[in-house]
Structure 1
Amino acid sequence: MPLHVPPAPAPALRSVLSALGSPAAVNDAHTPALRAHQGPMTVELPLPVHVLDRLHTSHLAAGGRPPRTRLTGWRFLIRGGDRFIAAADTRLTPEGWVFSHFFEGPYVAATERALRQAESLGSNFQPRLLSVPELYMLTLWLHGAVGADASAGLPAAADLLVPLAPAPPGIAAYRPHPVSELLPVLTHRLTPPLPPELAAPAA
């Protein structure tokens, strides 16, 4: 089924289109593929970027509230010819949405692959990106509430998280995980081990 890609704020899209049309902005970017591309380029697939805050202090594994998330920007994939060659990030300032930077690298291709895979799952989702800074991890967040405000909301237990490559060791990239299963695993990874004197009762 098609994904329900949320509309990006108009000023965010305008800022990216303006930067893409600026030779100075393109030439200053650390994106050889973007600078070298000959021909038209289009800006597609706007995705809100959320960050998972304070995962290590979450009590989700014990049935408590999920970690907090916050919107940090909107990301747009840039198509050149028959493939995506780069991406553009925007950020919110007191004056509104502004262009942040262009980039390329593994997450561009990984995002495209995960989105194609999500379209074949047979369910309706609103695609988002969810970053886990504490694990240097980025996931495609497939939110079940397709009509929800894309700038807000917490991951629901039945939502899916698809780790993008490169994923942390021991976590398979591109494998969809229900939030209820993956977040406790991530929380456990960030939980400091108990001191030896507390880990086991004294003999």
Structure 2
Amino acid sequence: MPLLVPPAPAPALLSVLAALSSPTAVQEARTPALRSAEGPLDTETPLPVHVFEPARVPGGLPQARLAGWRFHISAGARVVAAGETVLTADGWVFSRFAEGPYLASTERALRQAETLPDMYQPHLLSVPGLYMLALWLHCRPRTDAATAQPDPTDLLVPLAPAPPGITAHRVHRLVELAPVLSVRLAPPPLLNPAA
């Protein structure tokens, strides 16, 4: 079933388009594929990027905090980079251009999600403490992407490279994978030196 990609805030999109139209911004980007792309560059597939926050109570659901928007940048039919924005006190601003393994992995996960029987709203879920990024498939496709929160029926697709012990591109129910992530993010227990 097709994914219902949420609309990005207009200022976020405009900031990426402005950066793309700036020869200086493109040439100074650390993305060789973007610098060498031929033809017009365009944005597609806006995805809200949320930061994973472990559940505050045992057995509870994790929280997600909107941190930015990522736009895939295409040259013709090929995605060559991503343009990222962040929210500041002055509104949405361009942050950086990026490429690397998560770009192709995101494309693969989106194609994978389109084969699922239900409709979802796609998000990216960042787990900084594990150096992990996942495609978060929210079961409420018409939710405001800025305020979306994890639901027990949501799905997560870890992107490659995934942390050890977590299989990339395997569809997980959020309620199964979130506790694993929370445990891995928990601080180690204090050792009792007197014992």
Which category of TM-score, normalised to the shorter sequence, fits these structures?
Answer: over 0.9
Contact persistence 1:161–1:178 (CA under 8 A): yes
Distance in 2 (alpha carbons) for counterparts of 1:92 and 1:147: 22
Q: Which residue of 2 aligns with 1:8?
A: 8
Deviations 1:54-84 (A, max 9, x none): x2x643xx32x32332111100000112221
- What's the offset of the Cα at 1:195? 6.1
The aligned residue for residue 80 of structure 1 is 75
Pick the aligned partner of 1:147 from 125, 142, 145: 142
Please give the alpha-carbon distance, in whole angstroms, between the structure 2 residues aligned to 1:12 and 1:123: 29
Q: Which has the higher helix share?
A: 1
What is the alpha-carbon distance in structure 1 between the residues aligned to residue 6 and residue 76 of structure 2? 24
Amino acid in the other structure paired with 1:122: P
Cα distance in 1, alignment partners of residues 5 and 130 from structure 2: 26
Q: Deviation at 1:189?
A: 2.3
In structure 2, stretches of 5+ residues that fail to align are none
Q: How far is the alpha carbon of 1:193 from its aligned partner?
A: 5.4
Q: For 1:11 and 1:71, how far apart are their aligned partners in 2?
A: 15
Could you say which residue in structure 2 is the equivalent of 1:173? 168
Shift of 1:196: 7.4
Residue 96 of structure 2 aligns to a residue whose secondary structure is: strand
Is the radius of gyration larger for structure 1 or structure 2? 1
TM-score, normalised to structure 2, is 0.93
Give the superposed CA RMSD: 1.7
CA contact (8 A) 1:58 1:187 kept: no
After the TM superposition, list the runs of 4 or more consecutive aligned residues in structure 1 that deviate by more than 4 angstroms: 192-197
- For residue 32 of structure 1, what is the amino acid of its counterpart? P
Q: Distance in 1 between matches of 2:56 and 2:162?
A: 21
Offset of residue 96 of structure 1: 1.2
Q: Percent identity?
A: 60
1:66 touches 1:154 (CA, 8 Å); kept in 2? no
Residue identity opposite 1:123 in structure 2: D
| 2:93 alignment partner in structure 1 | 98
Alignment map for 1:61-80 (pairs within 5 Å): 62-63=58-59, 65-80=60-75
Deviates more, 1:152-161 or 1:185-194: 185-194
Paired amino acid for 1:29 = A
Deviations 1:18-64 (A, max 9, x none): 110110000110011000011112100000000012x2x643xx32x
The total of aligned residue pairs comes to: 193
Deviates more, 1:65-74 or 1:1-10: 65-74
Find the counterpart in structure 2 of residue 37 from structure 1.
37
Select the residue among 92, 105, 109 that pairs with 1:114. 109
